[in-house]
Amino acid sequence: MERKNKIEHGFETYKANLSELIKIRSVLSDDALPFGEGINQALDKVLEISESLGFNTFKDPEGYYGYAEIGSGDLFAVLCHIDVVDEGNLEDWDSDPYLLSERNGKLYGRGTSDDKGPTLAAMFGLRWLLDEGFTLSKKVRFIFGTDEENLWRCLDAYKAKEALPVMGFAPDADFPLVNVEKGMVQLMLRGDSSNIEGGDSYNAVASHATVQLVKPLGDTLGYRYKLEDDILTVYGKSAHASTPEEGENAIYYLSKILKEMGVSKDIENFVVDLYEGDVMSQFVDSVSGHLTFNVGKAIDGGVSLDIRYPVSYTEKDILKGVHSISDPHHLSVQRISGLHHLYIPEDSPLVLALMESYKAVTHDLGAKPLKMGGATYARAMDNIVAFGPQFPDDVMSAHQANEFIDIENTKKAIEVYMHAFEKLV
């Protein structure tokens, strides 16, 4: 109860500091090196907050990263980031995304959930633990990334210059923790140029796809569509590429329509074979489940393919499967990017300690570590897992209009982080 009272009494200070950080629009831009003036200002601000909490700070001379640390001994890292995604359409927000707003027990603003709010939650958790008289056995370093929402160039720079931790966590996903992240590879496939254009991004299920018809429209197979003159647009439902089953892929739908009409090209036939064949379903294991895939963009005559694959397979295995579908259609396959999987066993000391900390606070004794197709900062270094701040019943609002954190759950997350530091550092 004493710890809960400490969090309760200190929460106004947490909010005041979070408000200062939310004010800064730390979105990638080219108005200053390396990633924009807003990101530079946010890095300076989080370092200023760190110093006020009694941590020693360092800023990379080139501005790629900074860190705050305290203690000595083996290095324990908390991987954070202070860059945010664009606010999108301001009309979709009920309040200014860069002014911290409180209503209905929630704090609203861009970065409250991803990742400014969780960053400060972990920092204040350690500060308040130390105020209890706790003595550190390790050096704890909060590493502040500046390019997490894009290419992770900040951590590339950090790893080239700095000491690596023996273990740690990233407060940028879900509780109880994520110990399995599938491997990822993104591809571009091209052949006889498709006439389809559509999709929203490489890592999202295509919500729309358009083509200029070369013959009268036939059976639309029940899909939602709009026809203006000879321009056919088919509609699906967007979802993140890591959970394509939650969406409906318009590029696949339109490819199938064109095939039914007898006017499809090799690239569209490939898309239909990909979705309706069984080649990709063979990739499954007991640790991380099934492979998932998504055609995200139809652009410049080709299509992008995002694949999240189980941890027991290699990228080479996956590419072999893709070629078995694409080669009969005479398509080229270009690798755009990829990430190695993350897997830390449930019986590892790190996972056991973090799970115990989560259960001690929440009393969710049946909780199990999570697996996901998405990618967190935890992949960037060995022996790191994603740990909170989202609780199982929380509404996901990161990257959306009216992004928020629940106040009571944030207090609970701080308490979980205090327990975790107590066990591990």
Side-chain half-sphere CA neighbours of 317 within 13 A: 16
Could you say which of 60, 69, 83, 115 is catalytic?
Answer: 83
Sign of the torsion formed by the C-alpha atoms of 320, 326, 332 and 333: negative
Report, in this order, helix, strand and coil percent for the chain, each rounded to 5. Answer: 35, 25, 40
In the annotation, is 83 catalytic? Answer: yes
CB 420 within 8 A of CB 354: yes
| Residue 231, Cβ density class (10 Å: 0-12 exposed, 13-18 middle, ≥19 buried) | exposed
308 C-beta neighbours (distance < 10 Å), count: 28
Closest CA to 259 of 272, 249, 250, 248: 272
Strand partners, 297: 199
Active site residue 172: no
Cα-based distances in Å from 5 to 9, 347, 412, 415? 6, 33, 12, 11
CA distances for 57 relative to 16, 143, 144, 167, 392, angstroms:
20, 10, 11, 20, 34
Which residue's structure tokens are 């027990």? 105
Cα–Cα distance between 386 and 388 in angstroms, integer? 7
Which of these is catalytic: 69, 87, 114, 148?
148
d(CA 312, CA 290): 11
Known catalytic residues? 83, 148
